[in-house]
Amino acid sequence: MNIAIRAGALATAGVLLQAAALPAAAQAWPVKPVRLVSPYPPGGANDVLARILAQKLTETLGQSFVVENRAGAAGNLGAELVARAVPDGYTLLMGQASNLTINVSLMAKMPYDPVKDLAPVTLVASTPNLLVVHPSLPVKTVKDLVTLAKARPGALNYASSGTGTAGHLAGELFNRAAGVKMVHIPYKGAAPALTDLVAGHVHLYFTSPISAQPFTRSGRLRPVAVTSLKRSPSTPQLPTVAEAGFGDFDVVSWWGVLTPAGAPKEVIGRLHAEIVKAIALPDIRAKFADQGADPAASNTPEQFAAYIQAEIVKWGRLIKELGVRPE
């Protein structure tokens, strides 16, 4: 037999054997530790939710799920790492609106395609942003903030965890809706932004309740309103920005798990089932609620993929309308 033909036949046989063995390998998954990449610094909402979920999956699946923080480039650094990883189910991403749907329209060049390079597994949780102010600011309601901002144009500033994040866009949307001009101060993550807000270096922040909870409970920050159309089940006492007369003001953050594109469907299916089961447990729901997050209802990978694409369209339209550009 011709050597080239024989080598080709052996290679083909090897591929077929590998394909035949895949379902069995997927069924055995996980047989080694799994890393869950959080593309933001420790202490933020993404990191907190990733650690709650990783601990539960470690318990239920008998293998370590280790959270790895890879912050940078507005969440793109960690997301790219996962997008380029071996698609075997052992490298996962805790993604969110910013690096999956907002950056696409905000950045001239993306290092990965969130639709083509990542495979959605399921949504995990969502929450409206929380408008918090430093206690020294004479603001207790949204109307107070509008009055103050109009009296001091350009004097007030608002923090965000980075350019293009939901908090940044919430601030720009508020500027437009209220007819005011507050200055955007971007940080590299929620933790440093909150540190400066607590210290009084910035005036306010549209942030995740998960990140702000320790400071609002201790009185170091004052919660004013939430940014969803309806009040959040986790903070029903807080009014919405919409209730102050801005009826279409709706900014909601969300988090979900993804794998590199090409991961075995059997692995994605098992992972999906385990995550859905985990976030339905009373202890996980209680931990999420304690952080101000609303656990996501069960959704399939296909539904999550459709949601991501719809969010890309939504945020792209808003970014264009607001004229937001990288800073």
Digit-by-digit pLDDT tens for the chain (327 residues) are: 443 333 334 333 433 444 444 455 556 899 999 999 999 889 888 999 999 999 999 999 999 999 999 998 888 999 999 999 999 999 999 999 888 999 999 888 899 999 999 999 999 999 899 999 999 999 999 999 999 999 999 999 999 988 878 899 999 999 999 999 999 999 988 889 999 999 999 999 999 888 898 999 999 999 999 999 999 887 899 999 999 999 889 998 899 999 999 999 999 999 999 999 999 999 999 999 888 888 987 789 999 999 999 999 999 998 998 888 765
Say if strands 294-295 and 118-128 run parallel, antiparallel, or are unpaired: antiparallel
Question: Which pLDDT score, from 0 to 100, does residue 26 have?
Answer: 54
Measured distance CA(114)–CA(100) in Å, rounded: 6
305 and 113 Cβ atoms separated by less than 8 Å: no
Measured distance CA(36)–CA(296) in Å, rounded: 19
Measured distance CA(72)–CA(76) in Å, rounded: 7
Question: Which pLDDT score, from 0 to 100, does residue 10 have?
Answer: 39
Cβ partners under 8 Å of residue 111, min gap 6: 73, 76, 80
Question: Which pLDDT score, from 0 to 100, does residue 24 have?
Answer: 54
Q: Where are the domains of the chain?
A: 30-126+253-322, 130-244
Say if strands 222-226 and 130-133 run parallel, antiparallel, or are unpaired: antiparallel
Fold held by 30-126+253-322: D-Maltodextrin-Binding Protein; domain 2 (3.40.190)
In what side-by-side order are the strands of the sheet with 222-226?
183-186, 157-160, 204-207, 130-133, 222-226
275 and 55 Cβ atoms separated by less than 8 Å: no
Measured distance CA(243)–CA(237) in Å, rounded: 13
Report the chain's C-alpha Rg in angstroms. Answer: 22
311 and 166 Cβ atoms separated by less than 8 Å: no
234 and 209 Cβ atoms separated by less than 8 Å: yes
Question: pTM (2 decimals)?
Answer: 0.81
Neighbours of 108 (CB within 10 A): 6
Measured distance CA(327)–CA(185) in Å, rounded: 10
3-class DSSP state for residue 316?
Answer: helix
Instruction: Identify the bridge partners of residue 130 per DSSP, sorted by sequence position.
Output: 207, 226
DSSP 139-184: -SSHHHHHHHHHHSTTT-EEEESSTTSHHHHHHHHHHHHHT---EE
Measured distance CA(246)–CA(268) in Å, rounded: 41
Measured distance CA(326)–CA(108) in Å, rounded: 9
Q: What is the CATH number of domain 130-244?
A: 3.40.190.10
Question: Which pLDDT score, from 0 to 100, does residue 233 have?
Answer: 82
Question: Which pLDDT score, from 0 to 100, does residue 279 have?
Answer: 95
